[in-house]
């Protein structure tokens, strides 16, 4: 059985950490779950809340806890996620062991770990689909309605990509998420990628790019997914909560979000198909990020219109 550690950065998450840890204790894997938790720059008793939740798990959780106080210029998502991932990698200390990143405000379903294990290979990077936590649907109906519109839009974008530029290890049906809320790779590939970059935001995408450059293969299996809080205010600058704050504003009658029209995605998929054999996956992502952004000229369609 491949060993694994769930790696969690947290800052002032005393309320949400017990929810996450309870969900991890309820996983359907036949072994205790290792949780590498790095709490940074917190003032709300997050460490005590995590320890209490682990103690209630009847041995289902093995918690390794680190409390850090980063200086102001390093008190950001990159430092926190790197610390959590390094804690897990050093703890397992085996090239084929599995590191699974998640966030303190997530609530994964019971099959999350077993689905990650089922899809894992030595050089695979497994991205998990991110769903808004359905327990909060009544509180934030505008956010859930906007998310459905975005889900339909991205589903059509992926259909274009799969038609024009299919990737043999990431064939449909697939989703498109590979964020720190659900991202799995081996310790060996993580170390080959150089770890999580120390950048204030986008550290998860940068890690994926480095892992691709190190020979990793990114995949998006539909059976790997987790829930994340629908809160429109979060802890990390540039995180999903900022995007949801914009969704909330749109749902309350302000201007609808604008997105690239589908023909731009078709042109981009054709570019990828042409450049993929020339650059390889790692340099392809790097080169794509240097392209001019696609114009967001189309109002996000209503779900029924797609």
pLDDT tens, position by position, 5-46: 999 999 999 999 999 999 999 999 999 999 999 999 999 999
The domain segmentation of the chain, as residue ranges, is 4-305
Cβ contact 284:273 at 8 Å = no
pLDDT tens, position by position, 89-134: 999 999 999 999 999 999 999 999 999 999 998 899 999 999 999 9
Residue 305 pLDDT > 60? no
Q: Would you call 290 exposed, middle or buried from its count of C-beta atoms within 10 A (0-12, 13-18, 19+)? A: exposed
Preceding omega of 249 cis (within 30 degrees of 0): no
Average pLDDT over residues 177-204: 96
Task: Identify which has the larger pLDDT, 281 or 97.
Answer: 97
Tell me what percent of the residues of the chain surpass a pLDDT of 90. Answer: 82
Average pLDDT over residues 138-149: 88
**In whole angstroms, what is the distance from residue 209 CA to residue 125 CA?**
10
**In whole angstroms, what is the distance from residue 161 CA to residue 208 CA?**
19
Whole-prediction pTM value? 0.91
Cβ neighbours for 278, distance < 8 A, ≥ 6 positions apart: none
**In whole angstroms, what is the distance from residue 246 CA to residue 238 CA?**
12
pLDDT tens, position by position, 74-91: 999 999 999 999 999 999
Cβ neighbours for 71, distance < 8 A, ≥ 6 positions apart: none
**In whole angstroms, what is the distance from residue 138 CA to residue 154 CA?**
24
132-139: long-range pairs with CB below 8 Å, 24+: 132/227, 132/228, 132/229, 132/230, 133/107, 133/227, 133/228, 133/229, 133/230, 134/227, 135/107, 136/229, 136/230, 136/231, 137/230, 139/230
Average pLDDT over residues 155-168: 96
Residue 261 pLDDT > 90? yes
**Eight-class DSSP state of 147:** H
Model pLDDT, residue 245: 64
What's the topology of domain 4-305? Spore Coat Polysaccharide Biosynthesis Protein SpsA; Chain A (3.90.550)
Using pLDDT thresholds of 50, 70 and 90, give the confidence band for residue 208.
very high
């Amino acid at each position: 059985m491949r060993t694994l550690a769930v790696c969690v950065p947290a800052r002032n998450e005393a309320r949400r950490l017990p929810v996450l840890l309870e969900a991890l204790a309820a996983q359907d894997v036949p072994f205790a779950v290792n949780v590498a938790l790095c709490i940074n720059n917190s003032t709300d008793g997050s460490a005590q809340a995590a320890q209490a939740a682990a103690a209630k798990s009847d041995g289902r959780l093995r918690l390794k806890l680190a409390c850090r106080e980063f200086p102001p210029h390093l008190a950001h998502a990159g430092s926190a996620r790197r610390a959590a991932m390094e804690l897990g990698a050093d703890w397992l200390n085996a090239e084929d062991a599995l590191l699974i990143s998640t966030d303190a405000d997530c609530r994964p379903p019971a099959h999350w770990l077993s689905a990650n294990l089922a899809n894992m290979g030595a050089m695979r990077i497994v991205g998990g689909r991110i769903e808004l936590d359905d327990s909060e649907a009544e509180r934030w109906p505008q956010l859930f309605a906007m998310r459905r519109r975005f889900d339909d839009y991205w589903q059509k974008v992926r259909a274009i990509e799969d038609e024009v530029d299919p990737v043999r290890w990431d064939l449909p049906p697939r989703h498109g998420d590979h964020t720190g809320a659900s991202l799995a790779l081996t310790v060996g590939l993580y170390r080959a990628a150089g770890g999580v970059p120390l950048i204030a935001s986008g550290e998860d995408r940068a890690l994926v790019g480095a892992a691709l450059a190190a020979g990793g293969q990114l995949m998006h299996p539909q059976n790997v997914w987790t829930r994340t809080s629908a809160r429109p205010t979060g802890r990390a600058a540039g995180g999903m909560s900022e995007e949801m704050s914009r969704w909330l504003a749109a749902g309350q009658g302000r201007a609808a979000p604008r997105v690239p029209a589908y023909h731009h995605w078709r042109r981009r998929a054709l570019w990828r198909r042409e450049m993929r054999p020339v650059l390889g996956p790692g340099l392809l992502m790097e080169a794509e990020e240097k392209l001019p952004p696609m114009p967001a000229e189309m109002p996000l369609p209503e779900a029924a219109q797609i």
